[in-house]
Structure 1
């Protein structure tokens, strides 16, 4: 699939809404809509819990809002898992774990060039979920190998379900914990992670994308992973990201897309910005790249735009996030008009 760029809009999956249809309505206001994850609606909507459905040994404590893995139970449940894993049902999102997925698929998605799903990625999941000894499961060789395969199957089944109702879906993985592997305290090296993560991405069906709001070594993602889409928090980290000029040049030369999260979702930040200021902020970041010989036409042709981050902490609930989406659409419209970008 050739991915269309030209400053199309999309967003991260997590929304602060508790009304399912309103959340889906909001997602459908963007050029590349997505099914929403609604952790304020239910703890099962938490992105770590959501992907854990049918993972052997997983314990979800809704009251304490905690998810852990029991190692003994993991091995006990492997045989039952193996008996079911030849089919797809065990990898599908159930209504309990995603109230919006079926609601999204039930909408008329035919006007959209692309539609998107999402899943937490294995590096973040493996660092977040701990066993009975409070050890992250990514440090357990047996569980880590299983985890990569399990999440890949989840992603692929989600992709196939979307493919049944739209010709051009994709599922990106959220990796908020990716920057952990570059810390000196990590027992899971970036070299090992790149090998494992590269194999994981290679097993995914459809365009391969990664979203993260953190600040890793960006060359890890830009070079050697065969990614098609990289989504970043450009509002906070765009200047740092743009220093990786050679890696960005190589990434774009492969025909890939950078999704620039340029519109803030925190109330106080959004209140200080205007459409014109945000466009100027993004053009300044792009100027760092054009100054090093990357053509602006190429950047625009291979760019998407998004809010900078998910946000669940605003005092006004979903109102600032909805304003952020509206601002995003205005930023995109200004850029498309200014640079004569085709739909």
Structure 2
């Protein structure tokens, strides 16, 4: 499906100059993606970006929440169907439209999009009483339907300039599910929500990845019908490798691991290029001793989005990713 150690990104970029972000992506990444630009606009933050069109959604300065209106909710639910499209406008995803304009009439072989996952979405967005909408069963289901309509529109949009599409479902909050922070969130329900959107996306002949930048129950995640598992391998490699049996089974089903070996945190400034690359090479060598398909079924990414970095640091991450790929391919 992919060449060994193919590179792609997670989503967010630190730029306020949109064209610069797009050009950097096209220059450095084997699989380009559209940039989410939280420093350009608050509308580009990972929850706000996919809220547009949600019944009762309210934007107040840098706050976004649901103003509950039962009539609006009932009307929306009665009109929903799996063919529904919910566009993401340029006001909420300028990087997506800028990338399309930059590519113009070309047809890329492969392109990556992304969407906030239903667990992170519902455990981050609140109603006007300050209650997380996950704990309202109606709003939880509505959120899943809403995200389906968003991702269906995105897939159709991306297919106008890409022959093949990958969608990453971003679920950073999975690392907190079943911890004391979200003790009342059942793992089985979180997995049900993700399974539903994975199945929906795959019905459009699209490859699906899940990205979680923390530590979570990888046994559960690896059992999902996903094509790619993306995680922060710089910080959580040792925890992840415990699941060697599950990883082996996932690889045998033609699954790919996207290793986030290049840090997007303060560790980036604390270490030299060579130290970062050597760490990644050692970890790859270690895990490939027992999991022989790893070298064939691996992608490379930054550890998470680059939105919190400065522009020069994001350039360094891109350069490091390219250096690491060259090193591993030529080992």
For 1:110-189, list aligned pairs within 5 A. Answer: 110=106, 112-184=108-180, 185-189=182-186
Distance of aligned partners of 1:47 and 1:177 in 2 relative to their CA distance in 1, 3 Å threshold: same
Indicate the larger mover: 190-199 or 141-150.
190-199
Instruction: Quote the residue 2:316 is aligned against.
Output: 323
- C-alpha separation in 1, matches of 2:58 and 2:70: 10
- C-alpha separation in 1, matches of 2:127 and 2:76: 20
Distance of aligned partners of 1:321 and 1:268 in 2 relative to their CA distance in 1, 3 Å threshold: same
- Deviation at 1:244? 0.7
Instruction: Quote the residue 1:47 is aligned against.
Output: 46
Are 1:332 and 2:329 an aligned pair? no
Contact 1:170–1:207, Cα closer than 8 Å, also in 2: yes
- C-alpha separation in 2, matches of 1:93 and 1:125: 16
- Deviation at 1:249? 0.6
Summarize deviations over 1:206-245 as a string: whole Å, max 9, x none: 111111111111111111x101111100001111111110
Summarize deviations over 1:163-204 as a string: whole Å, max 9, x none: 122111121111111122221443220012222321221111
- C-alpha separation in 2, matches of 1:154 and 1:111: 22
Distance of aligned partners of 1:231 and 1:79 in 2 relative to their CA distance in 1, 3 Å threshold: same
Distance of aligned partners of 1:262 and 1:270 in 2 relative to their CA distance in 1, 3 Å threshold: farther
Name stretches of at least 5 consecutive residues in structure 1 with no aligned partner. Answer: 339-343
Instruction: Quote the residue 1:341 is aligned against.
Output: none
Name stretches of at least 5 consecutive residues in structure 2 with no aligned partner. Answer: none
- Deviation at 1:67? 1.3
Distance of aligned partners of 1:106 and 1:84 in 2 relative to their CA distance in 1, 3 Å threshold: farther
For 1:61-72, list aligned pairs within 5 A. Answer: 61=60, 63=61, 65-71=62-68
Contact 1:60–1:67, Cα closer than 8 Å, also in 2: yes
- Deviation at 1:82? 5.0
Instruction: Quote the residue 2:219 is aligned against.
Output: 219
- C-alpha separation in 1, matches of 2:194 and 2:76: 27
Aligned counterpart for 2:188 among listed residues 167, 188, 191? 191
Length-normalised TM-score, structure 2: 0.91
- Deviation at 1:103? 1.2
- Deviation at 1:280? 3.0
Aligned counterpart for 1:102 among listed residues 97, 106, 115? 97
Contact 1:59–1:70, Cα closer than 8 Å, also in 2: yes
- C-alpha separation in 1, matches of 2:173 and 2:327: 33
- C-alpha separation in 2, matches of 1:4 and 1:18: 32
Contact 2:77–2:142, Cα closer than 8 Å, also in 1: no
- C-alpha separation in 2, matches of 1:42 and 1:116: 22
RMSD (Å) for aligned C-alpha atoms:
2.1
- C-alpha separation in 1, matches of 2:226 and 2:130: 32
Instruction: Quote the residue 1:300 is aligned against.
Output: 295
- Deviation at 1:84? 8.0
